[in-house]
Amino acid sequence: MKLLRNYFLKEFIGPLIMSFGVLTFVIVLVGNLKKIADLVINKGVDIFSVFKLLLFMTPYMVTYALPISVLIAVLMGLGRLSSDNEIIAIRSSGVNLFRLILPFLIIGLILSLMLVVFNDRAASYAHFAYRKTLLEVGIKNPTAAFEEGVFINSFEKYILFIYHVDQKKNRLNNVRIYEPQGEDKPTRTIVAKGGEFITDPEKNIVKLKLIDGTSDEPDPENPRNFYKLNFKTYFMNLNPSQTKNTKNIEKKPKEMTIYELRQSIKNLQKDSIDITPLATEIQEKLALAFSCFVFTLIGASLGIITRRREKSINLGIAILIIIVYYPLFVGCEAMAMEGFLPPQFVMWLPNIIFGILGGVLTYRVCAS
């Protein structure tokens, strides 16, 4: 019996490692290749910063890559054994299939528990570090964060609209800057033919030097009115929105650990503030982690039932499960966020549905 278990696990471990490595590489590197090339070639971001962004992006992707890899590995491993009639031979010898499937389920459960800790600590930290690195890149090279023809809200008080950005020379052409004054007050507007950023990363300061333009200046006699002022050179201090120091950035729910989320929930409940987004995030971390076990359960039974040796068939089944599970998960998250159903229930609904389906199929496979 031990020999059979080891043989089954051997058929599982190899595809698991291979599919996890390929999926992680494809999602992280290939999926962001265009963005990486744009940052390095067009926007002048240094390679080290790009490497940091990729590094901090990886743990979040593992949250999805590992469960999918487990599903593919189970389908391919047991599918191969079933197609070669080895499953039939084992049954004929009087061995209960559940005893051979059980190690797969145990591994799926262990991976789920490990992923709970990983999602809680590593993925949360990496998500926060990724956002901090993006802000640092924006301070060192502000034009890297800008796109032409888009309203930019990256700075306090001001909204920027730039018609052309020369990333290599750090130059701007045809700049529009809007400064809202509040309700029932006109918006102050600054127009310039050109401009460039002057940065001081150590002090977290970004200055904008505008060239050849006009600015609206408050009328001393009536501050609600403006008069036009022509200028050859005009300097502005721009503070990154939400924070003046990358060390003091507040965490978003996805960047908090479960302990931090629970502490925030306690503090918000004292002030009768809706805590649905935080409660949803806790359940999302846990439910995504346990998709490893659910995928193992349903993959094991389907791998035996299909009896197909062709890898394309097994991959097709895996893709079908994925395109049903994850959109369903996103839909459940939306319902939780809108308050239609409690997060403690609705976020686990995909796992419950696929878990029941996997349990029924496994029972039929083992009982037949």
Residue 150: inside a domain: no
Would the pLDDT of 244 be above 50? no
Residue 97 lies in a domain: yes
pLDDT at 31: 66
Mean pLDDT for 148-163 is 75
In this structure, what DSSP letter does residue 248 have? G
Shared-domain flag, residues 234 and 262? no
Domain stop point among 216, 239, 262: 239
* 256 and 122 together in one domain: yes
In a domain, 147, yes or no: no
Highest-confidence segment of 74-78, 167-171, 211-215: 211-215
Model confidence band, residue 289 (pLDDT cutoffs 50, 70, 90): very high
Looking at the structure, tell me whether residues 206 and 270 fall in a common domain: no
CA–CA gap between residue 220 and residue 163 (Å, rounded): 32
Token pair recorded at residue 348: 């686990």
> pLDDT at residue 129 above 50?
yes
The three-class DSSP label of residue 205 is strand
115-124, 149-158, 305-314, 359-368: which has the highest mean pLDDT?
115-124
Same domain, 116 and 190: no
Decide which of 205, 239, 273 is a domain's last residue: 239
d(CA 326, CA 321): 9
Residue 69 has pLDDT above 80, yes or no: yes
Q: Is 133 in the same domain as 257? A: yes
Residue 146: inside a domain, yes or no? Answer: no
Structure tokens at 236: 């502005």
Residues 94, 23 share a domain: yes
Q: How does strand 159-166 pair with strand 151-152?
A: antiparallel
In a domain, 31, yes or no: yes
Residues 117, 167 within the same domain? no
Per-residue confidence band for 285, with pLDDT thresholds at 50, 70 and 90: very high
Using one digit for the tens of pLDDT, what is the confidence trace for 257-279? 999 999 999 888 877 778 898 99
How many folded domains does the chain comprise? 2
Count, residues in the chain:
368
201: nearest Cα among 46, 38, 36, 41: 46
Which tokens go with 2? 């031990």
Per-residue pLDDT of 110-125, as tens digits, reads: 999 999 999 999 999 9
- Amino acid found at 68: I
Indicate the residue among 239, 264, 296 that finishes a domain: 239
Asked whether the beta carbons of 140 and 199 are under 8 A apart, the reply is: yes
Task: Verify that 177 and 273 share a domain, yes or no.
Answer: no
pLDDT greater than 80 at residue 294: yes
Q: Average per-residue pLDDT in the chain? A: 81
- pLDDT score recorded for residue 349: 96
Residue with tokens 């998960």: 329
243 pLDDT band, cuts 50/70/90, is very low
Maximum separation of any 2 CA atoms in the chain, in Å: 99
User: Hunting for tokens 């390095």 — which residue is that?
Assistant: 40
pLDDT at 39: 67
Higher pLDDT, 175 or 311: 175
**Helix, strand or coil, per DSSP, at residue 199:** strand
Confidence at 151, pLDDT banded by 50, 70, 90: confident
User: Is 77 inside a domain boundary?
Assistant: yes
Say yes or no: 134 and 159 in one domain. no
Q: Are residues 177 and 292 in the same domain?
A: no
Tokens of 180: 């809202």
How sure is the predictor about 182, in pLDDT bands with cuts at 50, 70 and 90?
A: confident
Q: In this model, does residue 28 exceed pLDDT 90?
A: no
Structure tokens, 12 = 């599982």
Q: List phi, psi (to 5°) of 200.
A: -135, 90
234 falls within a domain: yes
Cross-strand partners of 155: 240
Q: Where are the beta strands (DSSP E) in 115-272?
A: 151-152, 159-166, 171-179, 188-200, 205-218, 226-238
With cut-offs at 50, 70 and 90, classify the pLDDT of residue 354: very high
Least confident range of 19-23, 142-146, 247-251: 142-146
CB atoms within 10 A of CB 139: 19
Which 3 state secondary structure label does DSSP give 235?
strand
Structure tokens at 249: 């950035």
Q: What is the distance between the alpha carbons of residues 363 and 295, in angstroms, rounded to a whole number? A: 16
Residues 222, 301 share a domain? no
Same domain, 166 and 123: no
- Alpha helices of the chain — where are they, by DSSP H? 2-28, 33-37, 47-83, 86-92, 97-118, 124-140, 258-270, 276-289, 291-306, 311-338, 343-346, 349-367
Q: What sign has the CA pseudo-torsion 309, 6, 92, 318?
A: negative
Q: What is the pLDDT of residue 360?
A: 92
Conformational region of residue 176, where left means phi above 0, alpha means psi within -120 to 50, and beta covers everything else: beta
Residues of the domain holding 263: 2-139+252-367
Residue 245 in any domain: the answer is no
Q: What percent of the chain has pLDDT over 90?
A: 29
Instruction: Tokens for 150, please give them.
Output: 């888009």
Contacts of 83 (CB under 8 A, 6+ apart): 307, 308, 309
